[in-house]
Homo-oligomer: A and B are copies of this chain.
Amino acid sequence: MFDILKLSPLFSGLDTLEINLLINKVFHQIRTFSNQEVLAFSGEKVERAMILLEGKLQGEMVDFSGNSLKIEEIEPPQMVAAAFLYGPQSFFPVNLSALSDGKVLIFLKNDFTQLLSNDLRLLNNYLNIVSGKAQFLSRKITFLSFKTIREKIAYYLLNHLKPGTMLVFLNQSQKSLAEMFGVARPSIARTISELEDEKIIRWERNQVVILDLQLLRSILGRQL
């Protein structure tokens, strides 16, 4: 476990022994979860710090019509809901559900606070995590503020372009993309068709080939 934690942003810069010592100073537990399980509901109070050790989680907003907007996927050894543990409104902003079986390391809030105050490096790491989280959310807003599906796809592709190539690898289905974009799945497929007709991209199963980078960029108004 400590080897995994060593790789986590929170314990970055500490060695296995130090991590071991720090963690054993406070109460902690390990909880397993299974695929599809909901670990927390939107609106629930955040009372525990959780670090994902194994498996995959996702945070998704479920609006009132039952539609969902996937905010992020969480993989080990990331913290869960880091930015919602402190601050004026410490409630889960999303439903937290499991995309596979897995394990999380859990601290109660008070124990976690003590952990942070025991080591300035941890505190500093945590500050960076929370800042990074805010920055992630900010980029999410940038993304959501694109009006058309065309723009969203262009932005997504340009941001995932494998450097030095004209390829974007897809590790999620169109359905999953549609959830992230907050749009209907056939609408994405239609826009992809249009982009293919215009010879701007070629969309294959697991990757996208950019045929005309200039045109793709021009969708976003010649920036980026």
Contacts and interface: CB of A to CB of B under 8 A. Distances in A.
A133 B220 CA distance: 28
Nearest to A138: B93
B141 A130 contact: no
A193 interface: no
A23 interface: no
A188 interface: no
Nearest to A129: B87
Interface string A122-161: 0100111111111101111110111100010000000000
Interface stretch (A57-65, A166-174, A195-203): A57-65
Contact of A139 (B93, B131, B135, B221): B93
Contact of A147 (B67, B87, B117, B141): B67
A127 B85 CA distance: 10
Nearest to A218: B64
A146 B223 contact: no
A102 interface: no
A212 to B, nearest CB: 18
Nearest to A87: B131
B65 A221 contact: yes
A93 B61 contact: no
A64 B221 contact: yes
A163 interface: no
Specify which of A71, A128, A129, A133 lies most central, judged by the most chain B CB atoms within 10 Å of its CB: A133
30 contacts: A61-B141, A63-B145, A63-B146, A63-B147, A64-B151, A64-B222, A67-B147, A69-B145, A71-B141, A83-B134, A84-B134, A84-B138, A86-B127, A86-B128, A86-B131, A87-B128, A87-B131, A87-B134, A88-B132, A88-B135, A89-B132, A89-B135, A93-B139, A93-B141, A93-B142, A123-B127, A130-B131, A141-B144, A144-B145, A147-B182
